[in-house]
Amino acid sequence: MSHFSYIDAFPNPQYCIEIADLPTKDGEQARYDFCGIDLGKLALGTVRIADQAMDIGVDVQRLLDGFLVKITTPISIAGECPQCLEEYEYELVEPEEFTEMVFFPEVVEELVAEGDKEATDLPVLIDNKIYLDPLLCDSYILFLSGLDPNCEPDCPGLCSECGQPWRDLPDDHKHEQLDPRFAALDGLWEDLNNQNDHA
Ligand SMILES: [Zn+2]
Ligand SMILES: [Zn+2]
């Protein structure tokens, strides 16, 4: 069992690279391809990763303290616009690149021993493997957090009176304002009713 908090959120990681398959010399690199990666539902608020099965490339370089992992992934985004409530979906033109350092456990143990409590959150090799699930999930969620959740930057939203999307309404769309004096009377009438109810 690992005592590192970083893996706790992923009790059943599926995708990994064994140390036996990783570069053995400092500075050496290798490339790994994973097809049909499925991480389940990745969402933040109203936006989510739409891909069900992703093909990703993983470039790994061995360094003194661990492995530098560069993940190249296509990304499709889906969401419900919080302004107009419409569903949208789009794919990024260019694949996204995430880079993360995965440390040897003894490096992190040393940092913790030196009093760096936050070091327990650093990615580490678990059972001599680089697990991609936590790296990917963290990276995708961080990516989602940087997105505009609206369907377009200046989404006009909904009419506050009738709830119709402004983009479907004519420019001169408006609702008759109730005469404020009648509105006041309405309020009075309601108050009287409430008093009668409680009498
Ligand atoms: Zn919208
Ligand atoms: Zn309206």
The model's pLDDT over 95-136, given as tens digits with 9 standing for 90+, comes to 999 999 999 999 999 999 999 989 988 999 999 999 999 899
Rounded distance, CA 63 to CA 70, Å?
13
Structure tokens at 132: 């991609």
For 138, phi then psi, to 5°, come to -60, -45
* 54 CA distance to ligand 1 middle (Å): 27
Q: Can you list the residues of the chain whose pLDDT is less than 70?
A: 1-11, 178-189, 196-199
Q: So where are the chain's domains?
A: 4-145, 166-198
**How far is residue 98's CA from residue 115's CA, in Å, rounded to a whole number?**
28
Beta bridge partners of 60: 30, 69
Place of tokens 């608020």: 45
Let me know: does 73 contact 56? Beta carbons within 8 Å: yes
Residues 60, 64: Cα–Cα separation, whole Å:
13
Cα of 165 vs centre of ligand 1, distance in Å, is 8
3-state secondary structure of 95: coil
Cα(154) to centroid(ligand 2), Å? 19
